[in-house]
Amino acid sequence: MGYEGLEAKIGYVFRRKELLEEALTHTTYVNEHREEDIQDNQRLEFLGDSVVNAVITARLFSELADEREGTLTKKRAELINETALSKIARHLSLGDHLSLGRGEELDQGREKTSILADAYEALIGAVFLDSSFDEASRIVERHFTDVLGPIEKVAITDYKSLLLEVCQSRFKCLPRVVVVDEIGPEHEKEFVVNVELEGRVVGRGRGRNKKQAAQSACKEALKSLDYPLS
């Protein structure tokens, strides 16, 4: 298979094409072709996971010099997860080039978030082995910026965890996140959640489920506490 089009999207031309091929080979394909001398992408995924983590961690550390460890950790988690990595994989059309077993092929494996995220990490592991950490870093930063926007401007969406950290740091106590109402018929129900801190309501949110409502309420609470949300 020719990889010229894919390499153009990646922004890197492999010297050792077998590394790219390995990065795109799912374990189900190997299981169905045991007579062939081929490797699945799990080892490369393991390596690429560490490379991506190192690149994004270093970038956040450098660009967000005033942020504390907790916030940096949360921002990294927003960037490095299956959803984000699979978006990058789709942007690169990695799914079109995967070697899958028949079962995964029939089960729409080329569109599965987990398979695409793993394939992206394997790809970065392959780039690292074929070149250097500096080159892999350049590739990762370009992909993340192209698909997710400026790395340092990523917004935190786990507002509940952030609120707990802020309250513990500022007030030495934790807020109460309480469901106070359920609105509408069973099939269209909305939940209303309050955030209470030191005896007063500092945030309220609504959502189709309790988690969504709680996140909305915690976001409002952070705003009422004048916490800067990017």
CATH number for the domain including 62?
A: 1.10.1520.10
* Residue 145: predicted pLDDT: 95
Domain span holding position 64: 4-153
If asked whether residues 116 and 207 sit together in one domain, one would say no
* Residue 230: predicted pLDDT: 58
Structural domain includes residue 23: yes
Structural domain includes residue 230: no
* Residue 67: predicted pLDDT: 87
If asked whether residues 17 and 75 sit together in one domain, one would say yes
> At 178, is the secondary structure helix, strand, or coil?
strand
Question: What count of other Cβ atoms lies within 10 Å of the Cβ of residue 217?
Answer: 31
CB crowding 184-205: b at 16 or more within 10 Å, else e: eeeeeeebbbbbbbeeebbbbb
Structural domain includes residue 229: no
Are 173 and 167 in contact, with CB atoms under 8 Å apart? yes
* Residue 171: predicted pLDDT: 93
Structural domain includes residue 16: yes
Sheet architecture: strand order including 200-207: 176-183, 190-197, 200-207
| Separation of alpha carbons 85 and 107, rounded Å | 20
* Residue 123: predicted pLDDT: 98
- The residues assigned a catalytic role are 49, 121
Structural domain includes residue 75: yes
If asked whether residues 146 and 199 sit together in one domain, one would say no
Per-residue tens of pLDDT for the chain, all 230 residues = 579 999 999 999 999 999 999 999 999 999 998 888 899 999 999 999 999 999 999 999 999 998 888 888 888 988 998 989 999 999 999 999 999 999 999 999 999 999 999 999 999 999 999 999 999 999 999 999 999 998 888 877 888 888 988 898 899 999 999 999 999 988 889 999 999 999 999 999 999 999 999 999 999 999 999 987 75
If asked whether residues 62 and 163 sit together in one domain, one would say no
